[in-house]
Amino acid sequence: MPERCQTCAVPFVLTVDQRASRRSPDRVADVLRRLEGTVPTLLGFERTAGDEFQGVLAEPDVVVEVVLGLLREGAWSIGVGAGPVQTPLPPSTRAGSGPAFLSARRAVDAAKQRPARVAVRGAAPADAGDAQAVLSALAVVVERRSEQAWEAIGLVEAGRTQAEAAAELGISRQAVGQRLAAGLWELERDLRPTAARLLERAAG
């Protein structure tokens, strides 16, 4: 196993490319506004070229959160690079370098060819493949979830009990439970930490 670079940190690089950008309006500016200030980053998300943007994150669970949010929109191909980056970090994501940036580039190119539109490349290829498989399963969950299920999940994740969510939605508590079950909410909760652990291992 090669020695880890002594001047490298080991975060995660996300490279995200808009799908069908020539046939639809530019969405990059809007998503950058949403991510700014709401997602903890080592280097903030920036447009890198055309309809592509990139950011550097420290925590694997935050990577999972961002990836799933983007997958829900259905407008993006998402590459995750796990591994070292050159330090000290530059002031701009566009100026970053190191293996994780190269991995993220390979990953987004691979994501464009995959049905789930997400791919992971990293310092530990087997673990990166496992992380990709779990994120792909989560992609299927979030992309097929109904708006009714999203409403119930949003309220419960915001801290409401199922009874409180039912009152707010004007439906029965049983109906809230049915929406959560149909949206595979418990499966998502089980898979999220698994994906984060595998991403951490993929970074080497």
In CATH, the architecture of 8-136 is 2-Layer Sandwich (3.30)
- In sequence order, the β-bridge partners of residue 55 are 14
For residue 88, the one-letter residue type is P
Query: Of 43, 51, 46, 52, nearest to 98 (Cα)?
Result: 43
Residue spans of the chain under pLDDT 50: 1-8
Give pLDDT, residue 9. 61
Give pLDDT, residue 7. 45
Q: 5-18 pLDDT, tens per residue?
A: 444 467 999 999 99
pTM of the model: 0.89
Give pLDDT, residue 3. 37
Tokens of 200: 């951490």
Query: Of 54, 165, 143, nearest to 104 (Cα)?
Result: 54
First to last CA, the chain: 10
For the chain, what percent of residues have pLDDT higher than 90? 82
The secondary element (H helix, E strand) that includes residue 12 is strand 12-18
Give pLDDT, residue 10. 72
Give pLDDT, residue 165. 96
